[in-house]
């Protein structure tokens, strides 16, 4: 039987490529730990001998558990589960920090922590992805799925070693990260992986509405070449009120976001992470944007959805539909950009979304 808990254990994942500075980041964070809190650090190294765990054990106020000899995202996940079970049975923990190997895929860790086995015990907060800005490139992101997964899964992306990188390279990396969907809470450029402790407590399940709105505004501004017009003079935004249509009841919907910007409607739906969708029906929904005359004024459609255990990214642009697996796990969400002068059937589209939802 697990220890009774009065509150959930805060969890952070510190992910990133090999040699990016994850251990350095952890050392900086651990120095800022509140004295009254009990933190546990789980360190996973791919090699048989745990070196990082030994380094991090220098901080005597932190309990360090090492899981060497395999990746906790796959081959060593059983050992990770047993370690977490043992901790829950014997200790009261305020925060759990997990550093998987640089070869790991953190989406499987989130799935484990949110599984029925540990239901109600963990509050997954900020997920970090750390990259060596001197050794990573946009080309590498486009080439390697593991790097894409790390970036998609993260709430906060850190491009470390800025003192050794070229400015042009940093600009390209930041531009890549800013274009990710859904948007990141923070994109940081660091030296020695120095961050503020407050970043740990950002909610992984929050919708980051401010960041979302900023991302949409920036992309529209770039697309329509109106960068010199102040945003407050061009923007009309709402959250769940003043929608340009009468919404229907959708199960597990957390938020509707709407704004009108530069003669473009931007409408978005965000669903709680427990809601699942039928991917074949989603495929048909996106393909229907090509088949029906009424949808020809749609500029773009993009969404991430839980489709059972995996999650998928769907995109429709220039009458082309693409679908791929994605490591993102925060929530399901869909966004449309539509020409404002066009009479779009928003209510009818919501009915189509409803038809894609499963129990």
CA distance 211 to 203: 13
Kindly give, in sequence order, each residue whose CB lies less than 8 Å from that of residue 171, ignoring residues fewer than 6 positions away. Answer: none
Note the pLDDT tens digit of each residue in 9-29: 999 999 998 789 898 999 899
Question: Same fold for the domain at 9-201 and the one at 209-356?
Answer: no
Please list the residues that pair with 64 across neighbouring strands.
41
Q: Reduce the DSSP state of residue 305 to 3 states and report it.
A: strand
Is 284 a residue whose pLDDT tops 90?
yes
Distance CA 236, CA 60 (A): 52
Domains of the chain by residue range: 9-201, 209-356
Higher model confidence: residue 36 or residue 293?
A: 36
Locate 274 and state its tokens. Answer: 């427990």
Region of residue 37 (left: phi > 0; alpha: psi -120 to 50; beta: else): beta
Question: Which tokens sit at 29?
Answer: 């964070």
Higher pLDDT, 182 or 165: 165
Q: Identify any residues that bridge with 266 across adjacent strands, giving them in sequence order.
A: 259, 337
Q: Are strands 156-160 and 122-132 parallel, antiparallel or unpaired?
A: parallel
Q: How far is CA 252 from the centre of its chain?
A: 19
Mean pLDDT across the chain, nearest whole number? Answer: 81
Q: What is the pTM of this model?
A: 0.73
pLDDT grade for 2, boundaries at 50, 70 and 90: low
- Looking at residue 4, its pLDDT comes to 54
The per-residue pLDDT for range 286-331, each reduced to its tens digit, is 998 876 545 557 888 889 999 998 999 998 877 889 998 888 888 8
Domain boundaries 209-356, CATH class: alpha beta
The residue length of the chain stands at: 359
The model's confidence at residue 44, banded by pLDDT at 50, 70 and 90, is: confident
Phi and psi based region of residue 247 (left: phi greater than 0; alpha: psi -120 to 50; beta: remaining): beta
Q: Check residues 151 and 289 and name the one with the higher pLDDT.
A: 151
Distances (CA, A) of 352 to 73, 191, 287: 36, 48, 12
pLDDT (mean) for 47-51: 46
Does the domain spanning 9-201 belong to CATH 3.10.20.600?
no
pLDDT digits (tens, 9 = 90+) for 101-139: 776 678 888 888 988 888 889 999 999 999 999 999 999
């Amino acid at each position: 039987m697990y220890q009774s808990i009065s509150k959930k254990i805060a969890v952070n994942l510190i992910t990133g490529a090999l040699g990016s500075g994850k251990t350095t980041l952890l050392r900086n964070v651990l120095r800022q730990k509140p004295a009254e809190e009990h933190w546990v650090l789980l360190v996973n190294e791919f090699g048989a001998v745990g070196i990082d765990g030994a380094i991090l054990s220098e901080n005597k106020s932190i309990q360090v558990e090492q899981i060497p000899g395999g990746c906790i995202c796959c081959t060593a996940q059983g050992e990770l589960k047993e370690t977490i079970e043992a901790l829950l049975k014997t200790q009261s923990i305020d925060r759990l920090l997990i550093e998987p190997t640089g070869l790991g895929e953190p989406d499987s860790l989130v799935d484990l922590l949110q599984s029925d086995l540990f239901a109600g015990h963990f509050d997954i907060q900020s997920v970090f992805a750390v990259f060596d800005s001197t050794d990573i490139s946009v080309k590498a992101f486009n080439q390697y799925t593991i790097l894409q997964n790390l970036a998609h899964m993260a709430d906060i992306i850190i491009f470390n070693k800025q003192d050794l990188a070229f400015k042009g390279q940093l600009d390209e990396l930041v531009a890549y990260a800013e274009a990710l969907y859904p948007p990141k809470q923070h994109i940081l450029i660091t030296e020695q992986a120095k961050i503020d402790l407050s970043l740990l407590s950002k909610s992984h399940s929050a919708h980051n509405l401010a960041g979302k709105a900023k991302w949409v505004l920036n992309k529209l501004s770039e697309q329509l070449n109106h960068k010199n017009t102040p945003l407050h003079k061009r923007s009309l935004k709402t959250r769940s009120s003043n929608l340009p249509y009468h919404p229907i009841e959708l199960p597990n919907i957390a938020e509707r976001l709407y704004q009108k910007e530069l003669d473009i409607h931007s409408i978005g739906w965000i669903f709680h992470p427990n809601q699942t969708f039928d991917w074949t029906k989603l495929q048909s929904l996106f393909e229907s944007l090509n088949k029906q005359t009424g949808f020809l004024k749609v500029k773009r459609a993009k969404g991430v959805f839980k489709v059972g255990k995996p999650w998928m990214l769907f995109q429709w642009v220039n009458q082309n539909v693409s679908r791929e697996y994605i490591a993102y796990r925060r929530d399901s969400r869909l966004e449309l950009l539509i020409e404002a002068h066009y009479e779009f059937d928003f209510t009818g589209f919501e009915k189509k979304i409803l038809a894609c939802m499963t129990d």
